[in-house]
Amino acid sequence: MKQVDIASLKSLIAESNRIVTGMAAAEPQQFYSFLSEHSELIGDGKTLYCANPSRAYGCFQDEGFDQLQVVVMFLTSAVRKLSGKRVQYFPHHLSQWAGHLTKRGIDLFWGSCSLPDDRGFVSLGPSCCYESEVIARAKHVVLEVNPHIPMTYGSTTVRLEDVDYLVESHQELPEVQRASITETDEKIARHIAALIPDGATLQLGIGSIPNAIGKALADKQDLGIHTEMINDTMMDLYCDGVVTGRKKTRWPGKLVGSFAYGSRKLYDFIDKNPLVELHPASVVNDPYRLGKNHKMMSINTAVEIDITGQVCSESVGHRELSGVGGASETHIGAQRSPEGRGIIAMHARAKNGQSKIVFELQPGAKVSISRNDIDTVVTEFGVAQLKGMTVRERALALIDLAHPDVRAELLESCRKAGYI
């Protein structure tokens, strides 16, 4: 291992055709910024595999980078506008991302890490989603050593002898601001809270609905956390004594995730905290392991759902919006748990007023969760456990969850199709 100035790695960058970067709060900000200033390092055939950059760095959008192909595992607002040009979305389950990357061959992994300890180890900090698995297979490894990166436990430890170069960084970590909670969010949260028993283990996403759910769970006891992303809501539930993990049957007493993304307070919370463990998504999102948790509850959202139970959570028609992440894996895995449940929570209408419960998905819409795997759907108008229902029963149940303004239209469409 050598600690070097980033400028001395120009040749390594130029010679590496397949580069994988760390994700979320552990994204290599120095690398993205440096690459954005050196388009001459981009040659024909260079591909950058990344997750969810926190902002639109120049290398993703500036002139001079036309030859750089960017492959993303998740589309954010920062890169969504470039999708279909230089940025390509890679359909996959989150647990499979590291496997796909290693099969393609990795010339260079560039990520972030904590300061070394006195034993010669560094921590990957807030993200272990695929990084540790990729490091083990990459030809070259560069880490930006940053005092702001927390020291975390689980599978995040890396020996300095397995790192080729360290680059000094003092960048503050990207943060995610909490989404504001609406009255509709609170109604949905109350419905979901009624479904979650004491001692349940939770997987929650990010956004206003999960934030509202966190508040609605204030009177629960001994909840556990097993989720791909640990966020501020989960930290709050632990600090308030709602989450203890005592009833968990996998990693009892631990808050388990693949990465943590949120506020600086969250990063301080996970720093040197033995109650928090981060493991690769291939482990955390494995449906078999999820099913071994006590009363596993997976809660995700969706763009739209058709009247038979097909869920789209990643596109608006043909336009890629985000990515499936681990939604289908966790939804299915939770149902393998005794007394577990997979829940899709969403507003009955989108911001533009369109119904999110539709007779049929938009042309080009991607089916993220099949109707054969769907379990429970929740809107502000109630709860429908579609699992175990016929198509007719599902149609009637989902119509009741739709906004009153569209129920008659949905009912008529179902009658014409012979569903009812």
In the chain, the domains with their CATH numbers are 2-168 (3.40.1080.10), 183-417 (3.40.1080.20)
**Nearest Cα to Cα of residue 284 among 378, 156, 141:** 156
Q: What is the mean pLDDT of the chain?
A: 95
List, for residues 99-144, the tens digit of each pLDDT value: 999 999 999 999 999 999 999 999 999 999 999 999 999 999 999 9
Per the CB < 8 A criterion, the answer to whether 233 and 209 are in contact is no
Q: For residues 214 and 227, give the distance between their C-alpha atoms in angstroms, rounded to a whole number.
A: 14
- Pairing assessment for the beta strands 2-4 and 165-168 based on DSSP bridges: parallel
Q: How confident is the model at residue 168 (pLDDT cuts 50, 70, 90)?
A: very high
What are the φ/ψ torsions at residue 10 (nearest 5 degrees)? -55, -45
pLDDT at 66: 83
Q: Strand, helix or coil at 95?
A: helix
Q: Which amino acid is at 118?
A: D
Q: How confident is the model at residue 378 (pLDDT cuts 50, 70, 90)?
A: very high
The single residue of 27, 133, 144, 228 carrying the catalytic annotation is 228
Q: How confident is the model at residue 286 (pLDDT cuts 50, 70, 90)?
A: very high
pLDDT at 226: 98
Q: How confident is the model at residue 321 (pLDDT cuts 50, 70, 90)?
A: confident
E strand map for 108-194 = 108-113, 121-123, 140-145, 153-154, 157-159, 165-168
Enter the tokens of residue 114: 């904590």
Average pLDDT over residues 148-168: 98
Enter the tokens of residue 43: 């040659």
Q: For residues 242 and 224, give the distance between their C-alpha atoms in angstroms, rounded to a whole number.
A: 9
List, for residues 171-211, the tens digit of each pLDDT value: 999 999 899 999 999 999 999 999 999 999 999 988 899 99
Q: CA angle, corner 174, sides to 168 and 166, nearest 5?
A: 20
**Nearest Cα to Cα of residue 323 among 332, 313, 333:** 313
H-assigned helices in 44-154: 58-61, 77-80, 97-104, 131-135
Per the CB < 8 A criterion, the answer to whether 213 and 205 are in contact is no
Per the CB < 8 A criterion, the answer to whether 375 and 342 are in contact is yes
Q: How confident is the model at residue 53 (pLDDT cuts 50, 70, 90)?
A: confident
Average pLDDT over residues 209-217: 97
Write b or e for each residue in 377-408: b if 16 or more Cβ atoms lie within 10 A of its Cβ, otherwise e: bbbbbebbbbeebebeebbbbbbebbbeebbe
pLDDT at 80: 67
Portion of the chain with pLDDT greater than 90, in percent: 86
Examine the residue annotation and report whether 409 is marked as an active-site residue of this protein.
no
Average pLDDT over residues 333-342: 97
Average pLDDT over residues 392-418: 98
**What is the radius of gyration, based on Cα positions, of the chain?**
22
pLDDT at 118: 94
pLDDT at 81: 62
In 3-state terms the chain splits into helix, strand, coil percentages (rounded to 5) of 30, 25, 45
Average pLDDT over residues 244-267: 98
Q: How confident is the model at residue 320 (pLDDT cuts 50, 70, 90)?
A: confident
pLDDT at 56: 82
pLDDT at 74: 84
List, for residues 72-108, the tens digit of each pLDDT value: 888 877 666 665 567 888 999 999 999 999 999 999 9
Average pLDDT over residues 52-78: 84
Pick the more confident residue, 199 or 318.
Answer: 199
Average pLDDT over residues 370-397: 99
Enter the tokens of residue 26: 């552990």
Q: How confident is the model at residue 220 (pLDDT cuts 50, 70, 90)?
A: very high
Per the CB < 8 A criterion, the answer to whether 205 and 229 are in contact is yes
pLDDT at 189: 99
The contacts of residue 259 (CB under 8 Å, 6+ apart) are 23, 24, 25, 26, 126, 127, 128, 129, 228, 229, 230, 278
